[in-house]
Structure 1
Amino acid sequence: MLSSGASRQYFNLVARASKNGIKTTNLNSVAFYSTRSPTNFFQQDELPANTVIRFVPQQTAWVVERMGKFHRILDPGLAVLIPFIDKIQYVQSLKEAAIEVPSQSAITSDNVTLEMDGVLYVKVEDAYKASYGVEDAEYAISQLAQTTMRSEIGQLTLDHVLRERQALNANITTVLNDAAADWGIKCLRYEIKDIHPPENVLEAMHRQVSAERSKRAEILDSEGHRQSAINIAEGERASKILASEAVKAQSINEASGESEAILLKAKATAEGIKAVAKAINDTPGGKDAVALQVAEHYVEAFGKLAKESNTVVVPAALNDLGSLISSGLGIYGQVNKTVNKSVEASSKVDKKIE
């Protein structure tokens, strides 16, 4: 007598078995069905019996033999069989299935031993080849995946294995498809699950990562100091340039001011000379007065030279006062000519401007 929980489990198993075309005449057959490994994709269920009329489930192919020889493949749907002559010999699922590849050791090209496992995704493409092309398809494809993975890893270094996992998966899938074509099986993809390097290699990798991080930190620190020094130097350079430009501008402004002052002074002197010359020319007896004043200053200058210095300048005709006055008047005449020329030139310029 079964308990309520066991009864539910029993009826669930019966329903699952009936759905897959398995006869459940007793508890033992149900127990056989329930102990099926879900990962054993190619292990056949209990073969359906020939009841003349059968319904083939979707995504399933039944291989029928007639008198021990292959006869045909039943597609999903209604099928009619001849009793005692036809026999459903193989049941192939056309669904995609995942096969676990056991963990194994592989040696890289740089002599590092790795422990690796994976998952292989396959699908039956040809039910005839899958039934008659290989005795145990799951075992064969699993062994082929292991040997192919060892062969591919032996061509790569540890760094390439860790970095190019996708390329390694693609290469393994290509090799498996070439070999499994005669078995009617297509390998859709292969995925490496875990890679376990030795402990000493893991420690070396950790040290390498730490060293790389320390190196990057030192580089960033030095780059920061370098950039700081560059910024300080550029700031000092800009400051010196601005200071020199300020000195330059100051010098230019001072020179401009001095030149303007000299020009204004020269203009004032010229205007004064011009006014004096005009007053001399326009005033009756002005030239005689100027001549007398020049002679007086001339005589006075000689008198001062004798008082202010031990060096005495003695004119050639010191005893001849008339000659001395004549020299002063001669100087006046030369000055007068120069003034007249300046007045004439100034008058011409004024006329051109007008």
Structure 2
Amino acid sequence: MTLGIIAVLVLVLLFTSFFTVKQQSSAIVERFGKFHSIRESGLHLKIPIVDKISGVLNLRIQQLDVIIETKTKDNVFVKMKVSVQFKVIKEKVYDAFYKLEYPHDQITSYVFDVVRAEVPKLKLDDVFERKDDIAIAVKRELNEAMTTYGYDIINTLITDIDPDIQVKNAMNRINAADREKTAAEYEAEASKIRIVAKARAEAESKRLQGQGIADQRREIARGLVESVDVLNKVGINSQEASALIVVTQHYDTLQAIGADTNSNLILLPNSPQAGVDMLSSMVASFAASSQIGESIQSGKSKPKKPSKGESDHDYTESV
């Protein structure tokens, strides 16, 4: 019975003498409450009852997310999320275990201190633009403080900036109005380009149309001259040739109107005398115009009034 109990005790002491440490971890061994050694990953031996594992530190990179509410220079309250990536320095496991009891709280305090010192110097728009500068300032301050306690700050990231909901809505309205303004400017510019292009096209069309009409009339006049010359060669004088051309054009016009199915009803004289009448009217109008011009020219030289030595009868005869 006694031997069995002794054997069990020996087995218990034997099993409690061995312990393992996981990869990327460090174990702190104390002997009678005093620091004895630091054990790395692997299988280790300790004296039962005498030695005690006081704690195990994780040597892998850890992340702490800190949410801070602060105010900007233009009095806008924002919530910022700062992610701090840190790890225990392998050579300073003793300091990390014994000098600092709550590392997360210590890191959070430094983050609050730096962010609330930097953000109130900036306006809201600058906070978004210079968030990397704020993150660098947080990392620099944390490194200076936490290295003493055996912690290395790998990186600090500002992962979220969340203004007050009313401010956010106002910013969205400003952005929407600005985009609408830009769209209106582009639409106005496009409309201007279309109007200018249309005006230029119409001007060019009218210029070409006028040029075509002028060319047409020039060719018609040249054709009339040639026709009169041909008729003169066969013994027809100019007046008769003109009458013949007018009559021919008169009947050509009637034929063209009759051939057009979309033309409206037009009443024109179609007797053989109609062409002669039109020609006579044209000649009479030309003659009247010529007489009016001669009268205007002769009217410019007015008769003199009678002098004192002349009688009214002499003045009347002179007139």
**For the residues of structure 2 that align with 1:128 and 1:245, how far apart are their CA atoms?**
102
State the partner residue of 1:124: 88
**For the residues of structure 2 that align with 1:54 and 1:99, how far apart are their CA atoms?**
30
Q: What is the CA distance between 1:241 and its match in structure 2?
A: 7.4
State the partner residue of 2:152: 186
1:100 counterpart letter in structure 2: D
Q: 1:213–1:82: structure 2 CA closer, same or farther, 3 Å change rule?
A: same
State the partner residue of 2:16: 51
State the partner residue of 1:342: none
**For the residues of structure 2 that align with 1:128 and 1:237, how far apart are their CA atoms?**
91
Pairing 1:172–2:115 present:
no
Give the fraction of aligned pairs with identical amino acids, expressed as a percent: 31
Q: Does the 8 Å contact 1:56/1:62 carry over to 2? A: yes
Unaligned runs of 5+ in 1: 1-49, 254-354
Q: What is the CA distance between 1:56 and its match in structure 2?
A: 0.8
Task: Report the secondary structure of 1:154's partner residue.
Answer: helix
Q: Does the 8 Å contact 2:114/2:141 carry over to 1? A: yes
**For the residues of structure 1 that align with 2:109 and 2:94, how far apart are their CA atoms?**
22
1:99 counterpart letter in structure 2: L
State the partner residue of 1:91: 56
State the partner residue of 1:61: 26
State the partner residue of 1:212: 178
Where do residues 288-299 of structure 1 align in structure 2 (5 Å cutoff)?
Answer: none
Q: What is the CA distance between 1:129 and its match in structure 2?
A: 2.4
Q: What is the CA distance between 1:80 and its match in structure 2?
A: 2.2
**For the residues of structure 1 that align with 2:158 and 2:66, how far apart are their CA atoms?**
9
Task: Report the secondary structure of 1:98's partner residue.
Answer: strand
- CA RMSD across the alignment: 3.8
Per-residue deviation, residues 169-210 of structure 1 (Å, max 9, x unmatched): 344334323322222222333344543323442342133123
Q: 1:165–1:247: structure 2 CA closer, same or farther, 3 Å change rule?
A: farther
Q: 1:219–1:79: structure 2 CA closer, same or farther, 3 Å change rule?
A: same
Q: 1:140–1:241: structure 2 CA closer, same or farther, 3 Å change rule?
A: farther
Q: 1:133–1:241: structure 2 CA closer, same or farther, 3 Å change rule?
A: farther
Q: What is the CA distance between 1:139 and its match in structure 2?
A: 0.9
Task: Report the secondary structure of 2:16's partner residue.
Answer: coil
State the partner residue of 2:78: 114
**For the residues of structure 2 that align with 1:54 and 1:240, how far apart are their CA atoms?**
103
Q: What is the CA distance between 1:249 and its match in structure 2?
A: 9.8
Q: What is the CA distance between 1:227 and its match in structure 2?
A: 1.9
Per-residue deviation, residues 241-288 of structure 1 (Å, max 9, x unmatched): 7679989999xx9xxxxxxxxxxxxxxxxxxxxxxxxxxxxxxxxxxx
Q: 1:201–1:244: structure 2 CA closer, same or farther, 3 Å change rule?
A: same
Per-residue deviation, residues 133-169 of structure 1 (Å, max 9, x unmatched): 3221111112212222222322321012234444433
Q: Does the 8 Å contact 2:110/2:141 carry over to 1? A: no
State the partner residue of 2:38: 73
Unaligned runs of 5+ in 2: 1-14, 220-319
Question: TM-score with structure 2 length normalisation?
Answer: 0.54
Q: 1:174–1:242: structure 2 CA closer, same or farther, 3 Å change rule?
A: farther
Per-residue deviation, residues 229-249 of structure 1 (Å, max 9, x unmatched): 332344356557767998999
Q: 1:233–1:70: structure 2 CA closer, same or farther, 3 Å change rule?
A: farther
1:136 to 102, 118, 137: 102
Whichever of the two has the greater Rg, that structure is 1
State the partner residue of 2:191: 225
Q: Does the 8 Å contact 2:62/2:86 carry over to 1? A: yes
2:45 counterpart letter in structure 1: V
Q: Does the 8 Å contact 1:152/1:172 carry over to 2? A: no
Where do residues 304-319 of structure 1 align in structure 2 (5 Å cutoff)?
Answer: none
Task: Report the secondary structure of 2:121's partner residue.
Answer: coil
Q: How many residues in Structure 1 have an aligned counterpart in Structure 2?
A: 213
**For the residues of structure 1 that align with 2:36 and 2:56, how far apart are their CA atoms?**
14
